[in-house]
Amino acid sequence: MNATVSVLKCDTYAPDMLEARLHESLANIGFDPEGFSGKTVVVKPNLLIPAAADRAITTHPEFFRAAVRIIKKFGGKPVLVESPCIHSLERTLKKTDFGKIVEDEGVKVANVTEIRTLVFGNGVKFKNIDISAACFDADIIVNLPKFKTHGLTYMTAAVKNLFGTIPGLAKSRMHVKLPGADEFCEFLMDLYGAITQGFEKPKTVIHLMDAVLAMEGEGPGTSGTPKPMNAIFASFDAVAIDWAATIASGLDPTKAYTVVKGFERGYGVASPSEVILVGAPISSLGIKPLAPSRGSFMSNAVRWPFTSKRFKNLILDRPIPAEAKCTLCYQCLKICPAQAISQSSEAKMIPTYDHDKCIRCYCCMEVCPEAAISKKHGALQWLIRL
């Protein structure tokens, strides 16, 4: 099954330019904005944590505003759906420009505590997934991912952004059940399949990706580094758009778990040959390659002896807080799905980590507001590189 991906150059978050580029993106993939008329439209940005727009941690507020204005202009009713990983949605909106935009544009904000179970019989492992109830009431879902590197999944984009339809700390508990990148991404594909094929009345799902300012390095949170890509991608197919953005970024799509798993599942495209690129040639964007996260290098084929706690600590990167930056806010403690973090001891003014319990999901790095947590190489990691 072929899928079209629109690629457009955009080097600014100026509102008029963004609106024009998003209009053009929709036209490129064959969606007439008149299709929004009279429809309830879920708008799903990436609001990982309250962060300034220039940190590239979240979908840019003006990108969100431009999408909302197009929906409203053509008679649609936008509804914001998002569940930040630890901070409340209310606080996240208040601490960012999203709050004012939501108020100015009259965007309804879905109650993140209201959930319903989406049943997808073709799921490989998860056939029943609790997501925001607002998704059931929508006619169209507009997914607004931010392109970023990721310590666990290599990159995060359209497929991974749908994870935010799951409420609050329930997302963190999935890391306990699925500590490996491969199995976690298998779950993400079950979720993607459910959203695209599991509703009794199928939804139109549109992905508009903010890659104007992307993120490289130790993403997707405060430890990552903003990096211009000066691009907007659009598609009806999340796997296709993730592949295109990964190629454009200079990262390796064979290491992007959601792309690899997505092709294997074949809910849409099943190979790169089925992706049709329209708009600007990727070569014309002038993107300098993004640096990947050191992340979790363990592949599906290399499992032993990493299941041993001792070998895990000798080989895998460990999250380590820095006393000079840490403010003991304990956001890391709250988010940790493995309960591997406790309050500081008398000796050090940093949280105490139990690396035997740590599952290397790096959620603590994602939420740390001070970028105080970094990865320390295991003493024997050189064996793997060798």
Structure confidence by residue, pLDDT tens digits, 163-212: 999 987 677 778 777 878 889 999 999 999 999 999 999 999 999 999 99
Same domain as 274, residue 331: no
Same domain as 224, residue 102: yes
Residue 350, helix vs strand vs coil = coil
- Structurally, the chain folds into a number of domains equal to 2
Same domain as 41, residue 126: yes
pLDDT, one tens digit per residue, over 69-86 is 999 999 999 999 999 877
Residue 292 resides in a domain: no
Print the domain residue range for 51.
Answer: 3-285
Same domain as 320, residue 255: no
Same domain as 321, residue 267: no
Tokens standing for residue 217 = 């390095």
Same domain as 262, residue 114: yes
What CATH number is given to the structural domain containing 24? 3.40.50
Q: What is the DSSP string of 206-221?
A: EEEEEEEEEEEES-SS
What CATH number is given to the structural domain containing 336? 3.30.70.20
DSSP state of 127: -
Inter-CA distances, 74 with 29, 44, 135, 282, 381, Å: 17, 19, 20, 30, 55
Alpha helices in 198-330 (DSSP H): 238-249, 257-265, 309-315
> Of the residues 253, 269, 285, which one is the last residue of a structural domain?
285
Q: What is the pLDDT of residue 380?
A: 63
Residue 337 resides in a domain: yes
Same domain as 203, residue 56: yes
Same domain as 313, residue 275: no
Same domain as 277, residue 339: no
**Rounded mean pLDDT, 50-70:** 97
pTM of the predicted protein model: 0.84
